[in-house]
Structure 1
């Protein structure tokens, strides 16, 4: 069925999935660009994100230098060709990652604080010259400060006493001293996986001049002719070892109000318990956050707006407040890395082929919350990075993973990814070192449109209206920063066991979400911008209002944040503290700020209530204190969606006249029950994103709640479009209530192979189904591609209201025709389709095209020593970043394994 139906929003290019398009070695030309874009478009992809990257060995003569006139010609052609197909083009503002390149001189490169220590006694002169010791830093490091620390607590700035040659012209008169010399050194990090013309030093993201110089190269290449880029992209912040910037001392003084040079001892301290060390480092981390925000993120976003484009940014990994960094860009982007476990029956998950990581929906919510709180229409995701080992990731494994990010609020998916491959490059084509390979060379490509249509239907709904979440959860970033160990703090996905998961913020957010509450995270800055309108919290004019703000247990909170929170309550908001904060962060004017902080807390005159809930009524609103947050929410009648008790998960959207509920069953069992929804809904239409079908649900309404009859098999998703008033004109949804006799498709099957390699095996007549790798003949175990199965069933009379085809086990995806009519692509568990409208009384023909994965053919190539992986840079690695070798793989089960049945329902 078509995508644009009565009850589905009109499809736009952003609603299709997009893909990261690696331009391998920039070996691109107009003929191949046109051909590939057409293939992507026909498969249901709505746009590409160009990321130039390292290239394939042997094709160097085709390489184009990044931003050269010839490269710009191909870029402009790509935009023109994509536009003609109603596709969009995003572009990485660089090659590889992080940002850097030939325009970045050592002066503008990522900086590293180097501290050298010298002992000095009273009356002695320092005989050693104060010069950087690291031979690799001698040509680039610059002395920024020399501080003298006495044994009686004295601190003297002797920087001005250091001559140009490093001689110190200063002697202490009494006591024992330690000198600390601070140098602005360089991390020496080069752009990782750079494309031709993009090689060079990584820039200093904290330095506005460095960012300006970096971006000027693009302006120079454009020569006033701005390419029609939708969004400029920046990958996750992976600037390693860069804990400094030349202006940091000055920025610190301006922003924190005291001289960091006076506290070099604390900043460089290895003491992990000292309170003042933690406070200085917290101030240092906050300053880095400010500099990344203003000098890079805002600066880059301003540049893209001048170029009539927008920014798409992965803020995670940055040394900053993720919510503010995400909130500054136009499209905040999270990423899925690795594979999640789902108890869906039949879903393949081989432990040897997945990374030992667990994508965490709470981490996704930093990006989606920033979008929701700031009223931005899109939250995107780099999706399926290292979902499974190369050539072993199936479309069925993609489905629950992408559903997890939809449930977290993402509504603009980018595949990771698609390598540009010219037509004359043999199988398996050019490949990126991290799977999955969403390319026409992949054997699942004939069926990818099934998944893409599903994603498009989901995103058409998830981009409609606004996010409809009830609770703001304050993120206590100062507790994260207030650690005495280490220096800079990169808030990365792979570090969440240290900085995120142990916190009450995380644990309460996760527990409340599982209970059916809807939550977005909010930062200190965003709290300060929030207003109260009719008792609701309005974070942005384009955002949905929130019912309550929760302050989870935290130790540190700035005076300004506490003042803003209490003012919100006074203006009519409901504020819930899990526990009152204890202290202010940072070191400057500590006692003065503590005094104000304690005075503000003392104004909270709580009266004891029920269930250990204390309440302080102030102005038009109230402040609650409750260790049990759910009890406090119940007390304030902030309702949860009880549908989660069934095991369902959901994402709710607000639209004119009603709401959408995106519902997913990731449990091991089918769900068939009455589900209660909050709100004033009167009617509900069921939208099936798997097939595009729609129908009126069985409902009843009472007491501001709508009860809906839902049926979801394990692995299925449905969308409810809830109407508050007007009853929509639509046929009733057909429920599968009373199964009649099950018809087993056990006639002989004819199998013939239609596409793939290395050679097409001979066709066979099958008396029973099983993996085609177990069939006789030498070609079947090495074969990757498609085979078509044909059989018949006899239906004496067509009496049932609906008939459901179940293919049983499919390795790995299928396209079904019944009596010559297209019955759809079955690409994920359960491999089922409603086929009643295609059946007739008498003999019916069933044709099933099944595609296996690339693994068996790749394994055969490695066993035969066929050289197919020759790349510059990282070449090709397995899921554990070791050299890739498939020669010892056992053949993967392939084809239609069954059993195949047809069940009638009345």
Structure 2
């Protein structure tokens, strides 16, 4: 039967359902079409330049491969080098390096590839031009107790004993290192991670603090030998002495010319001096094609101690907090009353927060903006409210596997009106050489559900054409590399990403709830470290009520974004909606907490007064965060709470506040109902989604997150006249079967586990062919007969072709060459009998790892995940049909073979090759010599099932 006939049948099915929606003839028609593709809708990749050992001829070759793989752009991050290629090394930002960078920009422009550049060779910001004055600092302290009439019997001194931490495997003694670090030769080989020299630390301040609350500054009474020339007067006295230390954190994974100290992120002059090196290197050069500068997360404090000081800290604290921290050092050190300790510590951390935003992030962004460029920033891991750091960034970037934490960066993109939110994607997804394209897709779909719409793979190493297999690799998987067998089919995954992102970059966000990101309690908590570092809703927020609320909202299908104190202060009310610079919301949800900033509570009450519904989950914060010295603020805070006259309404208590209301409950669903926030009921069926506004309706990206196939009517929380389905993996689109149901739209969906679609709803009438829904029309028919298996690409050698009567892993074929092989094999058979049907479902059974299918020489499609199946119109079968399945496995078997044989492929400086799992570590680095051959190829069984369009 011809394809046109079965499309007509499906059209009949759909249009019958449309008829119940009322007359469509009077509405404007809208074509079903995919959004426009740009290099930003395509996925990008982090592009490591190892040793900066790039050459023009190699750049031409590899960049064309990247373009042919449907990548949209490259983020250049120079890192450590490769042993044996030292003659190709180029120092970061040297004239030779700049020439290669300019050549890359020119080539990228010709190929239509975008380019971003990391503002460091490795991460965090730092390098050999960072002086000790601009390097990150730490504060050390000592305390002493004196009574009336006593003098201190020891000098006030702090001696740093010193240490060295290494990223590499070459032993280094602290005594052999010159100071400063930049004075040492061959820093690539040394691979230093942190260096603190043995020395006496300079004194910052000494105060005497009495049990009566008196504070004296004794700094001027310290003699040159450290003696304190002071006798304690009446009372008990605590002497607090602070000393400034060198944190010693080095740039991680630095390449040649990039090794050195990390900057002081709290110093304006430090970032200015640091960035001036780039100004000097690029002076007079045309770098106009460069898009954004990039920062790869904070990661200053994944070391011994913390970077928790800057020389001007006391003055900055006075400026931001309004009082003198020097008068409250016992509380800063946690030896005052618990209440005061918490308040001063909060203010100290808030000042660090403000300095990181104003002295680092904003100055960096302004520097880029003056060039007509922007910044991409990974704020996670910072000792600050990451939502405010993301707000400074032109493109906020996240990483991870925790959905509610992933939403941190996209939330800011939504509330602040930023078009893009990016992700470092598939980092350490599995052990080296184990992840397949299906695994990657699952990881990417999680980012999409979180609101990310600009994927960056982690990542791709530049590798020259003369590098032996496996080429140049990064120490952390996944390896999106032309030498990876999955590369030939990588373009199809990228096509999938492009299609999804073309929708997710279009329109505007459509979430209902602002989830207040209250970190005041955590910022007030004493702990083992002076700073708190934030990464969304994991780590130190795992036990928070904010995370509890986020998980509950997500599991119940509510659409939400996080918002910070600072961002909340910028909101206003329009038509009872809470409006941010980028979106509008129905309510703000505040989770149970002890503390809240005064300004935040005042704003929440003001929003309610203007008509908003403000909801509190499990209680209202009863205290202000920090040292509140204003009696007026204290009184007003109490007045705001006392004015709330709650009345019970079922599980919810509500108080009228002006034009709006404040509600309180232990039941989030009840609170959402009170705020007129509806849930997407598809979550009850095991589906998840993210929703956006389009020009004429809504976009839904929907994933079947369950273990079962979904074949059902799925309710969408929107009204529509028509709907279209877009399958981003196959590229098929068409009119959806839909019906109206009590103010919402029901769309019929068929989704296998892990499968995704985009549903576009419209107030207009979509025109086009109907989307085909298939059902089996008979039992599966095995593809019988022999298969010829030909090995066409890979190594260590191409095994001989073989003919088999039954399918299985090629590692089970007789001969060691099959067990060691990583690459591509072509399976060919003849189909003698095809079931009679409109359409045939080809199921490949089990595939290790990905496969492309050809019928009679015509490309049919590519499958990267279970179920490995494709629907083929029956008319494509001509009789005695040649079926070709091109299968690629992973790099694992060849790597294991090389490690068993002692082939030296781990030739990388610095950390070399880390293992994700400890069982894969030998001699401190990754080793696969104990691995058994991993199943590879077309394992089957291959079947043909008659199918038909549902009537």
Give the TM-score normalised by structure 1: 0.94
Write the distance in 1 (CA, Å) between the matches of 2:438 and 2:118.
29
Write the distance in 2 (CA, Å) between the matches of 1:309 and 1:203.
22
Matched, 1:49 2:78: no
8 Å contact kept, 1:786–1:852? yes
Residue of structure 1 equivalent to 2:48: 22
- 2:766 maps to which of 728, 733, 736: 728
Offset at 1:407?
0.3
CA deviation string 1:76-97 (max 9, x = no partner):
1111111111110011100111
8 Å contact kept, 2:157–2:201? no
Residue of structure 1 equivalent to 2:504: 462
- 1:372 maps to which of 397, 414, 426: 414
Residue of structure 1 equivalent to 2:332: 267
Residue of structure 1 equivalent to 2:370: 306
Residue of structure 2 equivalent to 1:446: 488
Offset at 1:480?
1.6
Matched, 1:363 2:405: yes
Residue of structure 2 equivalent to 1:105: 131
Residues 176-575 of structure 1: pairs in structure 2 closer than 5 A: 176-227=236-287, 228-240=289-301, 241-269=306-334, 274-336=338-400, 359-493=401-535, 498-540=539-581, 543-575=582-614
SS at match of 1:96: coil
CA deviation string 1:380-418 (max 9, x = no partner):
000011111111111111111111110000000100001
Q: 1:477 to 1:858 in 2, by over 3 A?
A: same
Residue of structure 1 equivalent to 2:814: 776
Q: 1:467 to 1:290 in 2, by over 3 A?
A: same
Offset at 1:875?
1.2
Residue of structure 1 equivalent to 2:210: 150
Structure 1 stretch displaced more, 767-776 or 674-683: 674-683
CA deviation string 1:259-317 (max 9, x = no partner):
2112222222378x922211111111111000000001111111111121111011010
Write the distance in 1 (CA, Å) between the matches of 2:492 and 2:335.
55
CA deviation string 1:611-630 (max 9, x = no partner):
22122223322222222121
Residue of structure 2 equivalent to 1:739: 777
Write the distance in 2 (CA, Å) between the matches of 1:175 and 1:532.
56
CA deviation string 1:184-219 (max 9, x = no partner):
211011111111111111110011110101100000
Write the distance in 2 (CA, Å) between the matches of 1:621 and 1:151.
48
Structure 1 stretch displaced more, 204-213 or 498-507: 498-507
Q: 1:29 to 1:839 in 2, by over 3 A?
A: same
Residue of structure 2 equivalent to 1:826: 863
SS at match of 2:383: coil
Matched, 1:845 2:882: yes
Structure 1 stretch displaced more, 544-553 or 495-504: 495-504
Offset at 1:174?
3.4
Task: Show structure 2 runs of 5+ residues with no match.
Answer: 1-30, 163-196
Residue of structure 1 equivalent to 2:907: 870
Give the TM-score normalised by structure 2: 0.89
CA deviation string 1:630-674 (max 9, x = no partner):
112223331111011110010111111111111111211100000
Write the distance in 1 (CA, Å) between the matches of 2:274 and 2:849.
46
CA deviation string 1:335-387 (max 9, x = no partner):
12xxxxxxxxxxxxxxxxxxxxxx21111111111111101011100001111
8 Å contact kept, 2:523–2:532? no
Residue of structure 2 equivalent to 1:628: 667
CA deviation string 1:241-262 (max 9, x = no partner):
1111111111111111222112
Equivalenced residue count is: 873
8 Å contact kept, 1:795–1:841? no
Write the distance in 1 (CA, Å) between the matches of 2:587 and 2:397.
26
Write the distance in 1 (CA, Å) between the matches of 2:402 and 2:576.
33
Write the distance in 2 (CA, Å) between the matches of 1:307 and 1:86.
21
Offset at 1:778?
2.8
8 Å contact kept, 1:569–1:623? yes
- CA RMSD for the aligned pairs? 1.8
Residue of structure 2 equivalent to 1:760: 798
SS at match of 2:290: coil
Matched, 1:60 2:50: no
8 Å contact kept, 1:44–1:452? yes
8 Å contact kept, 2:143–2:241? yes
Write the distance in 2 (CA, Å) between the matches of 1:138 and 1:788.
63
SS at match of 2:105: helix
SS at match of 1:13: coil
CA deviation string 1:711-748 (max 9, x = no partner):
00112111101112x21211111111343242211221
Offset at 1:123?
4.0
Task: Show structure 1 runs of 5+ residues with no match.
Answer: 337-358
- 1:855 maps to which of 888, 892, 898: 892
Q: 1:442 to 1:270 in 2, by over 3 A?
A: farther
8 Å contact kept, 2:32–2:768? no
Matched, 1:891 2:928: no
SS at match of 1:804: strand
Residue of structure 1 equivalent to 2:642: 602
Residue of structure 2 equivalent to 1:351: none
Structure 1 stretch displaced more, 392-401 or 407-416: 392-401
Residue of structure 1 equivalent to 2:6: none
8 Å contact kept, 1:107–1:140? no
Offset at 1:176?
4.6
Offset at 1:491?
2.4
8 Å contact kept, 2:849–2:888? yes
8 Å contact kept, 2:159–2:199? no
CA deviation string 1:451-507 (max 9, x = no partner):
1111111111111111211111111111121102234334254x9665212112111
Residues 691-706 of structure 1: pairs in structure 2 closer than 5 A: 691-706=730-745
- 2:697 maps to which of 658, 664, 676: 658
8 Å contact kept, 1:473–1:509? yes
Write the distance in 2 (CA, Å) between the matches of 1:586 and 1:24.
46
Write the distance in 1 (CA, Å) between the matches of 2:888 and 2:76.
29
Write the distance in 1 (CA, Å) between the matches of 2:204 and 2:821.
64
SS at match of 1:418: strand
SS at match of 2:228: coil
SS at match of 1:599: helix
8 Å contact kept, 1:226–1:307? no
CA deviation string 1:534-570 (max 9, x = no partner):
1111100xx2311111111122112211111111111
Q: 1:567 to 1:67 in 2, by over 3 A?
A: same
Q: 1:485 to 1:852 in 2, by over 3 A?
A: same
SS at match of 1:835: strand
8 Å contact kept, 1:140–1:186? no
Structure 1 stretch displaced more, 544-553 or 68-77: 544-553
Write the distance in 1 (CA, Å) between the matches of 2:868 and 2:310.
55
Structure 1 stretch displaced more, 189-198 or 696-705: 696-705
SS at match of 1:447: helix
Write the distance in 2 (CA, Å) between the matches of 1:865 and 1:135.
41
